[in-house]
Amino acid sequence: MSKPLILVSNDDGITSKGIRVLVSIMKKLGDVVVVAPDSPQSGMGHAITIGETLRLAEEDIFEGVTAYKSSGTPADCVKIAKHYVLKDRTPDLVVSGINHGSNTSISVLYSGTMSAAIEGALEGYPSIGFSLCDYSSKADFSHIEEWVEKIARQVLENGIAKGVALNVNFPPKQNEPIQGVKVCRQADAKWQEEFDERFDPTGRKYFWLAGNFVNFDKGEDNDEWAIANNYVSIVPCQYDLTAHHAISQMNKDWDWEKLK
């Protein structure tokens, strides 16, 4: 039997440590093709390149793996992989990461890592975004490698619902082993942002985005709780942003006569 075809991307760039770890794990599971940004694209969300050139170049960076670097965003990488790199081949799995830093809670909206995975789901491919809640460039990934492999195997063997991408976050390495896996919901949390006003050496004003992450969620069934308690969190995500519960409320409570 032929091996599964696995497309790998990320948002930290093709030379990041996280993608090297992810590629090495995916090579155990199937034939791997990499299409990733040529530079860091964190916080790009689901941006795509319009009105600018999009460049693609083959890169000999992973042993035994066909790899391309792109000037585009993570979503661009998955798109160009489908339409140009893979052509008539259909990936059995799209994986993105392993991100250096958390993508729990509201961060999923800003995450380039998850946007690559969600783009895969948009195309109908089983997709996973992996993130390690450690922002250090020297982050230790050794404690999560077996979990990445197990989760990817589960998706390859059992599948996931169509149009769904899994947002998988891992706690940083601790003295105790990871406690297990929690399939959970996105926590009710957000960034309380500030814009720090600064001046460059020429005296011109600029702003630097800062702030603190605040968790309002007291539940024990969300991704923030899971990470804080040394569990792997898995949140199934969808690209349909329709607030279905609001449709009935609007139809019931709005005065539609005034809108005629």
List binding-site positions for a divalent metal cation.
11-12, 42, 99
Is the preceding peptide bond at 25 cis, omega within 30 degrees of 0?
A: no
Residue with tokens 């020429």: 202
- Return the number of other C-beta atoms located less than 10 Å from residue 196's C-beta: 10
Neighbours of 83 (CB within 10 A): 10
The token pair that represents 177 in the structure block: 């082993």
Q: Name the binding residues.
A: 11-12, 42, 99
∠ at Cα 219 (215, 225), nearest 5°? 65
Beta-carbon contacts of residue 61 (< 8 Å; ≥ 6 apart): 14, 15, 67
| Cα–Cα distance for residue pair 236/112, rounded to 1 Å | 17
In degrees and rounded to multiples of 5, residue 81 shows phi and psi of: -65, -45
Q: How far apart are CA 77 and CA 217, in angstroms?
A: 34
Give the helix, strand, coil percentages of the chain, each rounded to 5: 30, 30, 45
* Distance, CA of 193 to CA of 236 (rounded, Å): 27
